[in-house]
């Protein structure tokens, strides 16, 4: 297996210059850097976080949460309801801490995007990129035949029996050992993040890498960007990097914040679309030992056209108990007795409500207000999937509602959902997108080449550029779009 070329890390930060500067090493940035060095060009990749091998943390969340998650895993979003937004901050970005799920962009979404926002981003044009991504990341679907992942198996089989659409999911893994701690990197090294599949390779082809360094400002002159000011968080050293072209891939929050701080006025609309994850746990009559498995192998897609999907999720005492922390400790203790009969599932929805990114005095915070339409949809789906879990053999269902209400029969659901208030929903988000969307319309910051209309050598290639909310894990789409942008750049 290829390892990273340690000589690719830059130790002397004085007088740095390059032809192509890529900021951010996640799904978009790693593809951009890889395409640049594959074409024999000179490139520097700057990452705010540090470098860790994918199995560095051996499953320890306490060690990985501070090292590889932005804001110690908890970026607060204030509103009704308040919740946490989470993303990665290390070499590999969020692909280091996600489940390695790689979907091709749905044709229907691409058709809508081409109709309203983009030009020639059709499925056929992107297919060559998806094939490349799937090969490099070793994207496969895994069966449930190994006797593990019983949580995925139960809901999959039950769904098929009821003619509900459920599918096996494509994941980037090699010999997954079912450690069930994908959010810590990968304890067995099986998950194929872009770190291993792209950046390791690029580091042997001349890519120069700077870690622990945050780009604070982009400098412009006559509609051309020429330099960035960077701060090394370990040494507090400040330095500049000069470049000919710059590709921003800092992620859905950091990219607009960097543009905003560099321009000194609001360029972006400063809103992002998100997916909302609501964790529903269930205690089954039979032993299912959900900790023996991976994040999930199947997904219920009955409502995918509406943006709602349902699947199991990583399960162990740590993440299960912390997800129901509002329960009294005696109840937590009682639930622990049934831990081998318990599993957690996620209802992921695609709200039309957006998160506002507010930036003031170099500090930012996030605001959100769930609109009535989204709230009604969440209530309907909570009800549907709680009932569904009872029909699969669950004895009790724990709802993602403040106080973590435990229900033991279907008849209780209606009453609880009826009384539910927005502020009482417990949820989190791990997918943000569309904060600086590409557009064929001249009033938007980016054109369809991913290039700024104002600054002619500035490109963006991350989740920010997706025109609207996608409704599925966006990693595959971000990577394919990054390939397409680099192709249109004519390296």
Partner 1 sequence: MKKEKVNKLYITLIEKIETNNINIEGNFYEFLQDILREAHWVSKYSIYVYLFFLDILSLIIFFKLFKNLNKIKAQKLLKFISKIIFLNDIEDMLKKYALIYMYDKN
Distance CA 261, CA 23 (A): 15
**Which window, 16-24, 123-131, 201-209, 319-327, contacts partner 1 (CB under 8 A)?**
319-327
- Tell which one of 2, 3, 74, 285 touches partner 1 (CB under 8 A): 74
**Both tokens assigned to 324:** 């129901």
Question: Peptide bond preceding 119: is omega within 30 degrees of 0, i.e. cis?
Answer: no
Q: Which of 2, 19, 76, 421 binds partner 1 (CB under 8 A)?
A: 76
Residue span 372-391 as binding mask against partner 1, x where in contact by CB under 8 A, dash where not:
--------------------
By CB under 8 A, which span of 70-78, 149-157, 166-174, 300-308 interacts with partner 1? 70-78
Contact range with partner 1 by CB under 8 A, out of 56-64, 98-106, 216-224, 458-466: 56-64
Q: Please list every residue from 215 through 274 that binds partner 1, using CB under 8 A.
A: none
Residue among 367 and 410 whose Cβ is closer to partner 1: 367
Single residue of 5, 260, 319, 387 touching partner 1 by CB under 8 A: 319
Of the ranges 32-40, 57-65, 93-101, 194-202, which one interacts with partner 1 (CB under 8 A)?
Answer: 57-65
Segment interacting with partner 1, rule: CB under 8 A, options 90-98, 111-119, 133-141, 323-331: 323-331
Q: CB of residue 190 vs partner 1: minimum separation in angstroms?
A: 17
In order of 52, 217, 232, 248, 262, the CA distances from 11 in angstroms are: 17, 21, 11, 22, 26
Tell the smallest beta-carbon distance from residue 360 to partner 1 (Å).
12
Q: Which of 2, 7, 62, 143 binds partner 1 (CB under 8 A)?
A: 62
Q: Judge residue 6's burial from the number of C-beta atoms within 10 Å of its C-beta, 0-12 exposed, 13-18 middle, 19 or more buried.
A: exposed
Distance, CA of 249 to CA of 255 (rounded, Å): 7
Q: Identify which of residues 52 and 113 has a Cβ nearer to partner 1 in the complex.
A: 52
The single residue among 116, 161, 325, 391 that binds partner 1, judged by CB under 8 A, is 325
For residue 233, the number of C-alpha atoms closer than 13 Å in the C-beta half-sphere is 15
- In the list 363, 411, 419, 443, the residue contacting partner 1 (rule: CB under 8 A) is 363
158 binds partner 1 (CB under 8 A): no
Place of tokens 């400790």: 329
Which residue lies nearer to partner 1 by CB, 187 or 228?
187
For residue 318, state whether it binds partner 1 (rule: CB under 8 A).
Answer: yes
365 is a site residue for partner 1 (CB under 8 A): yes
Return the C-alpha torsion angle 126, 128, 131, 135, nearest 10: -130
Write down the least CB distance from residue 326 to partner 1, Å.
Answer: 6
**Looking at beta carbons only, is 84 or 164 nearer to partner 1?**
84
Whole-number Å distance between alpha carbons of 27 and 51: 15
Mask of contacts with partner 1, 338-357, x by CB under 8 A? --------------------
Which member of 120, 238, 317, 441 binds partner 1 (CB under 8 A)?
Answer: 317
Which range, of 5-13, 74-82, 114-122, 222-230, touches partner 1 by CB under 8 A?
A: 74-82
Choosing from 141, 177, 336, 409, the residue that interacts with partner 1 (CB under 8 A) is: 336
Tokens standing for 362?
């170099």
Nearer to partner 1, 131 or 336 (CB): 336
User: Is the Cβ–Cβ distance between 48 and 25 less than 8 Å?
Assistant: no
Closer to partner 1 at the Cβ: 239 or 315?
315
Total residues interacting with partner 1, rule: CB under 8 A: 29
Among 75, 294, 299, 344, indicate the residue that binds partner 1 (CB under 8 A).
75
Selected binder of partner 1 within 3, 7, 19, 66 (CB under 8 A): 66
Would you tell me which residues interact with partner 1 (CB under 8 A)? 58-62, 65-66, 70-72, 74-76, 82, 316-319, 321-322, 325-326, 329-330, 332-333, 336, 363, 365
């Amino acid at each position: 297996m290829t390892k990273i070329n340690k000589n690719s890390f830059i130790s002397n930060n004085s007088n740095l210059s390059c032809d192509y500067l890529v900021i951010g090493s996640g799904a978009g940035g790693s593809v951009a850097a890889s395409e640049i060095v594959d074409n024999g060009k000179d490139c520097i990749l700057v990452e705010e976080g540090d470098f860790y091998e994918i199995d560095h943390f051996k499953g320890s969340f306490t060690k990985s949460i501070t090292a590889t998650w932005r804001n110690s895993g908890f970026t607060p979003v204030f509103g009704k309801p308040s919740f946490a937004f989470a993303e990665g901050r290390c070499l590999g970005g969020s692909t280091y801490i996600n489940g390695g799920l790689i979907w091709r962009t749905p044709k229907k979404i691409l058709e809508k995007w081409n109709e309203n926002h983009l030009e020639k981003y059709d499925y056929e044009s992107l297919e060559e990129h998806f094939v490349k991504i799937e090969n490099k990341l070793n994207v496969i679907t895994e069966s449930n035949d190994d006797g593990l992942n019983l949580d995925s198996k139960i809901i999959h089989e039950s769904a098929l029996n009821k003619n509900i659409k459920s599918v096996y999911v494509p994941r980037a893994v090699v010999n997954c050992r079912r450690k069930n701690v994908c959010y810590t990197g990968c304890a067995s090294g099986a998950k194929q993040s872009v770190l291993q599949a792209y950046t390791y390779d690029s580091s042997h082809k001349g890519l120069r890498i700077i870690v622990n360094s945050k780009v604070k400002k982009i400098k412009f002159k006559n509609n051309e960007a020429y330099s960035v000011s960077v701060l090394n968080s370990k040494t507090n050293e400040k330095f500049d990097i000069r470049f000919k072209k710059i590709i921003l891939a800092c992620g859905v929050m950091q990219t607009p914040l960097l543009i905003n701080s560099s321009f000194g006025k609001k360029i972006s609309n400063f809103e992002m679309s998100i997916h909302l994850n609501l964790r529903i746990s269930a205690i089954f009559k039979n032993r299912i030992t959900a900790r023996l498995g991976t994040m999930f192998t199947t997904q219920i897609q009955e409502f995918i056209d509406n943006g709602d999907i349902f699947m199991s999720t990583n399960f162990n005492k740590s993440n299960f108990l912390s997800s129901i922390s509002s329960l009294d400790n005696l109840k937590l203790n009682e639930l622990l007795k049934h831990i081998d009969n318990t599993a957690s599932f996620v209802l992921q929805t695609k709200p039309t409500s957006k998160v506002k990114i507010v930036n003031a005095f170099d500090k930012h915070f996030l605001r959100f207000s769930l609109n009535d339409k989204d709230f009604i949809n969440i209530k309907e789906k909570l009800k549907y999937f709680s009932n569904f879990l009872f029909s699969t053999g669950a004895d009790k269902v724990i709802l993602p509602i403040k106080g973590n209400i435990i229900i033991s029969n279907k008849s209780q659901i209606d009453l609880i959902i009826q009384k539910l208030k927005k502020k009482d929903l417990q949820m989190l988000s791990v997918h943000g997108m569309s904060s600086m969307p590409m557009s064929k319309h001249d009033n938007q910051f980016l054109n369809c080449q991913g290039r700024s209309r104002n600054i002619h050598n500035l490109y963006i290639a991350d989740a920010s550029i997706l025109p609207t909310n996608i409704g599925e894990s966006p990693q595959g789409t971000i990577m394919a779009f990054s390939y397409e942008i680099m192709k249109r750049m004519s390296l």
